[in-house]
Structure 1
Amino acid sequence: MPYRAPVTTPAPPTPVERSFRLWIAAVVVGVLGSALSFATMPAAPGATAAAGTIVGAIIGLLFLGAIVYCALRLRRGENWARIALTVLGGISAVFTVLGVLLTAGLGVNLGLLSTTVSLLQAALIVAAILFSFQAPANAYFR
């Protein structure tokens, strides 16, 4: 059997690498923010509320896992991952900012730390999306 050299993907350009790192940072901030929320959350008044909290946590972890998977694929130059991250991240960032504004407008106090973590995560996502569409990144995905 003839020897076949392994197929190697070229190293991602700097904007793609930055985008990848920002996606991972956004996931880390999301996990820390969720842990903070659980740690400071008042005791749930019943089994139904506790089950809802657990289901919400599982869905959140699955979402963050999907983000990590797509970020890894983005780093390898797979354009579908860049598009998926743009759509999911864009929706997440918009709803985060709208949620913060809406709760503030309704007079609901989420706490300074929780609000800061949410806005930091949204900013990381927006920056990651912008880096993934810079000219060197566009060439890498072609």
Structure 2
Amino acid sequence: MNGLPRTDGVTVRRVVIDHVKIGVSDLARSRAFYVAALAPLGFGELYADESGISFGPPGVDDFIVSTLVPTAAGLHVAFAAERRDQVDAFHAAALAAGGVDNGAPGPRTQYSAGYYGAFVLDPDGHNVEAVCHGG
């Protein structure tokens, strides 16, 4: 089961991954991209050193980029959004920060009912998504 159903019919998603670290080739370029792209989702830069940067909501480093990790082709990371307007804002901010459109914001009912997502390729070609389930 992907979530915990409540008596009111709403499913609360269970977090199954604590954090994700991906490899990047240019830390400064990735910093600029992710600072802009993740801001609409409530993520900010939490920690940085010469080899990596962590991002997340205040006090929770959920996502890390690092030059110490090899960049891998075909990597896909999906960030949860609470509302569709956050997905739209993520997509616009990511494109403005140099990302490449890989799927404009919109319903993706082939994945599930209520799925609303947008996809952007980051500076290293990673497929980065923001998704809202239902909101």
Task: Establish whether TM, by shorter chain, passes 0.5.
Answer: no
- TM-score (norm: length of structure 1): 0.30
- TM-score (norm: length of structure 2): 0.31
Whichever of the two has the greater Rg, that structure is 1
Normalized per residue, the structure richer in helix is 1
**Structure with greater contact order relative to length (CA < 8 Å, sep ≥ 6):** 1
Normalized per residue, the structure richer in strand is 2
